[in-house]
Structure formats: C-alpha cells, structure tokens
Structure 1
Amino acid sequence: MTALLDTGLGLFGQAALVGFVTFLRIGAAMALLPGFGAAMVPMRVKLALALAFTAVVAPAVSAAVAPHTGTVEGLLTCLATETMIGLSLGLLLRLMVLALEIAGTIVAQSASLSQMFGSGGEPMPAISHLLVMAGLALAMMAGLHVRIAGVFILSYDALPPGAFPGAGIVRTWSIGHIAHAFAIAFGLAAPFVLASTIYNVALGSINRAMPQLMVSFVGAPALTLGALVLLAITVPPALTLWLGTLDTLLADPFGAPG
C-alpha cells in the first residue's frame, strides 16, 4: 500500500509540474488574448480561464513538457522561455483585435463620428468599441475558445518548451503579422476613406462655386448621416471578412501572414 501511495504521489507530482510549465505559457498569453484578456474581464476570471485552458492543453502536450520538469535548471529555463512564448502568442492573436481598433479610428476620423455612441473600457474611439465588441461576439459564437486551445497545442510543435525562439524568426514573423494587421484595418475602413475623400472634394467644389453658401452647416450633418448609413451597410460584410481572416490565422498561426 505504501509503495502504491508513493507511486501515486510521484505521478501526481509529475502531472503538477507539467501543469505548472503549461500554465506559464497559457497564463502569459491570457493577458493579451482577444476577448479573454480584455481590460473589462476581472483578474479572477482570467485566472480561472487560464487554469481551464491548462487543464485542456496539458494532457495533450505532456510528452513535450515532461522532459523539462526533471531538474531545477529546466524549470527555471521554462520560467523564462514559456513566459516569452506565451506573450508572443497572445500578442499575435491580439493583433486581430487591434486591427478592428485601428479600422474604427480611421472610420471615426473620416466620418466625424468620434464622439457618438459613448465609449468605455479601453481608450479608443466609439466606433472602435462598436467594431471590437461586435467582432469578439462573432468570434465567440464561432468557437474562439476551441480554436485558441488548438493554437496552444500546436505551439508546442512550432515553439518547443525550454528554448527561446530565434531572434530572426521572431522579427520576421512579428513584422509580417503587424503589417498584415494594418492592411486589414485599412481594408475594412477603405469605404469610409474613399467616401469621405469624394464628399469633401465635392463640398470644396461647391464652396468655390457658391462662396455665399455656408457649406459647414450643410455638409457636416450630411456627412454624419451618410457615415451612419454607410456604417450600417458595410459593417456586417466587414466583420464577416475579419472573421474569415481570424479563422485563417488560427488555422496556421505560425505560417506567413496573408
């Protein structure tokens, strides 16, 4: 009985160490994950979510993690490497939310809607809040939690535990995804930029033709109304396009962006 108990305690201790090393990566990523790492989510909820993801991921990656839990040096090394890898993964996925925030900022500046609808939470224009909340709700309904768990499991093949990723690989990977996020943001906001440019050019031409007309009193309400109509028309397909891009990223998070 004593030998059986010792064996059970040994297995439990090994499982606890594997869970701890896995938690290092997941806990660091949890601070930046879309939706789960938002500022409005309480810290206790984030901790519970990190433990839940750890319970799901740890059994699938125990073979890769276990060799690094046998020594104190291995655990200390994992304390640094896993935290860095987790932050890198969280930032990669967070870029998709930042793309919506940037798109909302461009829309707000182009359409004079910066102060409408109110705002709260993280500092950003109100249109950005609208796009981010709608995008995250759409992603959650599409099973974002399941896809993120899959990304964590795949990350142990692409970024093995106990080793820092190469600086050149991280630089190329991060710059590519950051540029891709800006491209997505401008693509989503392009209809508003184009419509605003055409409208202001037309308004300037009218002002030159009829200097006595108070174009600011006529143009500002029309610009706001047109922006609201364009927002209602373009946001649903834009969010669908964004969700497809997010699905592509989650399917191959370690490949070239595009």
Structure 2
Amino acid sequence: MNKDVRETPENGAADYEEHLGPLIFEPAAKELLSHIVTLPAHSILEVACGTGRVTRHLRESFPAATRLVATDINTDMLDIARQQLNDPSISFQVADAQQLPFADHSFDLVVNQFGLMFLPEKQTGVNEAFRVLKPGGHFVFATWDRADSMPLTELLLNTLIIPVFKGEDTTRFCISTALHDPAVLNTYLENAGFQHHRVMFVSFKGHANSPQQVVNSYFLKHPLGRAAKEKEPADFDRIANELEEAVIQRFGTGAFEFELRALVGIGRKVD
C-alpha cells in the first residue's frame, strides 16, 4: 500500500524518479527499447536521459564495449541517473539537445525518450540528432500521444486540473502530450535530412500498486499538483481526493494496469 505523501517535502527530480519513474517511465523505457535492440550500434548517445530509466536498459541491452553517453540539461536529473546507475562505463554529461557538444558523425544511435516535446526549437533538436549521427546511424525517439487517449491523464488534466484555471491559458499543462501528430514528426525527420523514416503509434501498460500511488505520482508529487496548490490551496486536497475516488471507481482499490500510448519515431541517416 502506498502512503499519502502530501505532507512530505518537495524534491523535484527525486519525486519524479520515485513516483512517476516506476509508474509510467519504466514501462515506456521497455517499450522504446523493443524498437532499438535490433539496431547495430557501437556508440550511443541518449539525449534528455532524465533519471536514467532508458539509460539502464541501453547499458543492459548492448555489449559492454559499446560507448554510451547519457545527457540532460537538468543537472538534478543527471545527478540521480549517475547515482542510480553507478556505472563508470556510462559517460554522463550536461548538454542542450538543441546544441549538442559533439562533433559531426560521432554516434551510431541517438535516443530521446519524451524530451522532444519540451524543446523550444524542436526542429533544431532533430537536426542536431542527425548531425551527430554517423552515416547509416539511427535516431529513435518517443513522444506521448494525446491526453484523451490515456484514461488517467485525461481524468487528471481535462476533468480535474483545467477547470481550476478556467479563463487562463492552460497550454503549459499540455506540453507533454502536445506532440502527437505523426505528420508533424515525420516532417521534422525529413527536414533534418532523414531520407528513411517512420512514426508509429504504440500502446503499453502502466502498473499501479494502488490508487494512492496514482494520486502521489500524477498529482501530489507532480508539477500539476504544485500549480493547482499555488493557484488555489483549497483545491489541492479536493482534487487529490476526487482523483483517488475516480481511480477507485474505475479500477478498484487494489493493484491495476492502465493504458499508456505514445508515438515512436525512427530515422535512418543514409550511408
């Protein structure tokens, strides 16, 4: 049983890893790796590695001799990844995905899970992935699908959070699920120079140990919860309670699985 964490201190990157990590990012990492493991790679760059969920699977899935560089612009996230993996064979570096500090043609594989939608200049980020790839190399990335394609995200965002900010610009709450059009993603790949590319929808399951784990992860220790608390403190407990009640009504009081959807894009740089 997961305890209520609303009274515990805020710790952004650590909260992200502890709560959202196992709930959604671990199953997403496994799904992404299923599209990567068959690709040949002697050198891998991970962009926007966060707390290292994908990084761990990359290290475990490729030979020890494979060069692995994991980067993120957020030093707190990167510190957690470095501590969690504690692997000297992985090079962790602070880097902006829009201005990678690597020479042209440096890597066989570039990976980016759920980082592209947060870039101010998304095309630049894809261009940079293309630039640092060796001829014949691959760029593999994932973005979340629409919020209304995932029951828990839809419930929290559209039913409980958005109404609190009625009359305000709420697009900031939708950034993570805003890049869900395959045509747009294919255009980024084509404009960057990828002559062979495709974008596909994928579905996979998240697993929650309890409704309280969902409340902790999706609200109490989530930026959405912090925003709601700053806007109207009285709504914080109400939304948390309503979310738990809605989850129990739909999934029951015990452990359960729930639908997650993403888009996976793959671009190959011609020889």
TM-score normalised over the length of structure 2: 0.25
Q: Which has the higher strand share?
A: 2
* Higher share of residues assigned helix: 1
Provide the TM-score with structure 1 as the length reference. 0.26
